[in-house]
Amino acid sequence: MSHNPHAKEGLTRRDFIRVGTTGTAGIALAGMGALSASAAEPLGRLPRRRYGRTGLEISALVGAADWSADVIPLAVKAGVNYWHKGHRWTAETMPEAIKSQPRESYYLEITVDRVGGDHMHGRIDEEQHYQFVKQAVARSGAGYYDVFKFHFGYHSLNEAKTNLGVIRAYDRLKKEGLVKHLAISQHHYNNIGGDMAYDIVTHLIDHSPYEAAQFFYTYGDKKELDDVLALAKKQDFGTIAMKTMGGVGRAATDKRMQTMLAEPRYQGSTPATAMVKWLMSNPNLTAAVIATKSFDQLQENVTAARLGTMSSSDRHALGLLAAYNQGTTCLLCADCVSQCPEHIAIADILRYERYALDYHELSRARMEYNTLTKNGSACIACGDCMPACQADINIIAKLKDVHRLLG
């Protein structure tokens, strides 16, 4: 990991207040507790890493178009140069902080979904993917997207090997100069008789024009994910971790957890800081995307990413988070879903729970939950899924709780 030589240009809390007084950040400030304009704490600049075969040097923490409009200018100043779901911006809505820079200095990604249904039921359609990107480029005013990302990915190894619709759409767009690189965001599909993300990505690393992949990866995850990361590094394939912060948001509002974190052995760390450092200390991982809503979160994440190395307090904090998560927070491993005779998308349902409890995005969680063709109320309490859960979650009770929360 190479540190950016412009660290002295880092962002300060004063910058945030300046944005707040001239923009819309007042709302965000109201929720951040006491801030002082004299407390100018340097945020510094993020390190950058090579995004595999794309050759792009991207920030170790990547941004997302759904981040708060108040945070984005500050993230840019902190060195965030890669924007997940960047196609959501039009020429009018793209933040000035991004579009005012030279086009080659930042990277925009377009995520391309299946058509004719959601990610489980939709289909791959070369022409519609091609038209979707073409129209988005025209709306964006950006000229091109740096990365075409097949969103949610293939259902199975067989589909990845035989259905070339996405690749053909990408090839056509690339020839026209509308996209530059091909990546995938891969989920597990064992709930519909398909394959696990790590099996599909392993295949893509060796056998396809894909240059990079994004997938779920968090502390305590399965060995298969570490194997994918090691192979990706060896084959110069870019990797972005997502859904990394399981349990962090709920722990932050849990009084008992906060009391424990005040003990001396955790001093100087938090579960969020420790998780970011843990991710950054993996030399095989290119970057991580972490939901960021406020200056404080941005500061905590950027500072941790710059330090990278874990302290003993960080190790204790991660251990505490892992213990806290056991029995309560789904790791999204999807090991349980292929056991369910009712074909309930347990991991998707618990991902939506995470949106509500960890990201505090209740309406988004409810909206996603209510698009499911089969939700938690379809559980017949047979218990077949429970032995598969390494996180010891009482899935029957959990589905009831989530249905009460989101249904």
Closest separation in Å from C-beta 252 to ligand SF4: 21
Q: Does 357 bind ligand SF4 (CB under 6 A)?
A: no
Taking alpha carbons only, the member of 197, 297, 271, 189 closest to residue 239 is 197
Tokens standing for residue 40: 């100018």
Closest separation in Å from C-beta 286 to ligand SF4: 25
C-alpha 235/C-alpha 155 separation (Å) is 23
C-alpha 200/C-alpha 160 separation (Å) is 7
Would you say 314 or 358 has its CB closer to ligand SF4?
Answer: 358
Q: Between residue 379 and residue 398, which ones bind ligand SF4 under the rule CB under 6 A?
A: 379-385, 388-389, 391, 393, 395-396
Q: Does 225 bind ligand SF4 (CB under 6 A)?
A: no
Distances 279 to 229, 263, 289, 304, 378 between C-alpha atoms, Å? 12, 24, 11, 10, 36
Strands 61-64 and 57-59: unpaired
Would you say 75 or 385 has its CB closer to ligand SF4?
Answer: 385
Distances 397 to 283, 392, 406 between C-alpha atoms, Å? 39, 12, 14
Are residues 234 and 240 in contact, defined by beta-carbon separation less than 8 angstroms? Answer: no
Q: Between residue 314 and residue 353, which ones bind ligand SF4 under the rule CB under 6 A?
A: 330-336, 339-340, 342, 344, 346-347, 350
Closest separation in Å from C-beta 243 to ligand SF4: 11
Q: Does 402 bind ligand SF4 (CB under 6 A)?
A: no
Q: Does 56 bind ligand SF4 (CB under 6 A)?
A: no
- How many residues of this chain interact with ligand SF4, rule: CB under 6 A? 28
Taking alpha carbons only, the member of 16, 13, 73, 79 closest to residue 46 is 79
DSSP string, 235-249: TTBEEEEES--TTHH
Would you say 146 or 358 has its CB closer to ligand SF4?
Answer: 358
Q: Does 205 bind ligand SF4 (CB under 6 A)?
A: no
Closest separation in Å from C-beta 250 to ligand SF4: 15
Closest separation in Å from C-beta 357 to ligand SF4: 14
Q: Which residues bind ligand SF4 (CB under 6 A)?
A: 330-336, 339-340, 342, 344, 346-347, 350, 379-385, 388-389, 391, 393, 395-396, 399
